[in-house]
Amino acid sequence: MSAGVHAESLERDWLRRAVVVLRRPSEVFDALRDDSDDAADARQEPVLALVLLAGAAAVLASPVARSLLDDPARDGLIVAVWAFIGGIVYGFAAYWAGGALLLWALRRLGSDRSYRSARHLVAFAGAPLALSLVTLWPLAVAAFGGGPFRSGGSGHAVVAVGAAAFAAWALALLALGIRVVNGWTWVRALAAWALVVAPGAVVVALGYV
């Protein structure tokens, strides 16, 4: 097999895994243990897609989004553009900072994984958030129109519960990913997970104050 064909095959495998991680996460996290340059290069596109989609979903679930349509001059297009731009900023901030925080936690527990490996684990663990962008939000708009984006509008509680469920799913994948990628026991993996989640929860809580 030529180098070019091999690279294309790896890229296809990782694009598939960006979806498979939602159904068979252990299989994908086991593959993520390969931190070679070839494997890391092959998963750049799915990592980018997951980061952008998860970032957009996160900004739509933020308190700021609940009043975007209070101004009659704004419409659905403004919300979409805002979510796209915000998704880029928020997604990559979470990707780089979250990867750094995860690396710190892993090193505290004795891991020798790289910063790149930690970032990619964060990206794949965020797959449920990416899924929420193409499931929760279209359904919310279909059911409540612009309600979720207006102060006092309809659908806020439903969206909040749905977003929380997807976030919990992502956190569960992060814990599983830490365990599988590092080959750790659940106790050790959850200790590292707690070191990541605790400061992350504080940051999120401050955003809702």
Residues 85-141: pLDDT tens digits? 999 999 999 999 999 999 999 999 999 999 999 999 999 999 999 999 999 999 999
pLDDT at 162: 96
Residues 146-177: pLDDT tens digits? 899 999 888 999 999 999 999 999 999 999 99
CA dist 120 to 46, 58, 92, 124, 178, Å? 10, 18, 12, 6, 11
Residues 24-65: pLDDT tens digits? 999 999 999 999 999 999 999 999 999 999 999 999 998 888
Q: Which of 57, 182, 206 is nearest to 130 (CA)?
A: 57
Cα 1 → chain centroid:
34
pTM confidence score? 0.91
**HSE (side-chain half, CA atoms, 13 Å) at 11:** 10
Q: Which of 60, 64, 66 is nearest to 81 (CA)?
A: 60
Contact present, 89 and 55 (Cβ < 8 Å): yes
Proportion of the chain in helix, strand, coil states, percent, rounded to 5: 80, 0, 20
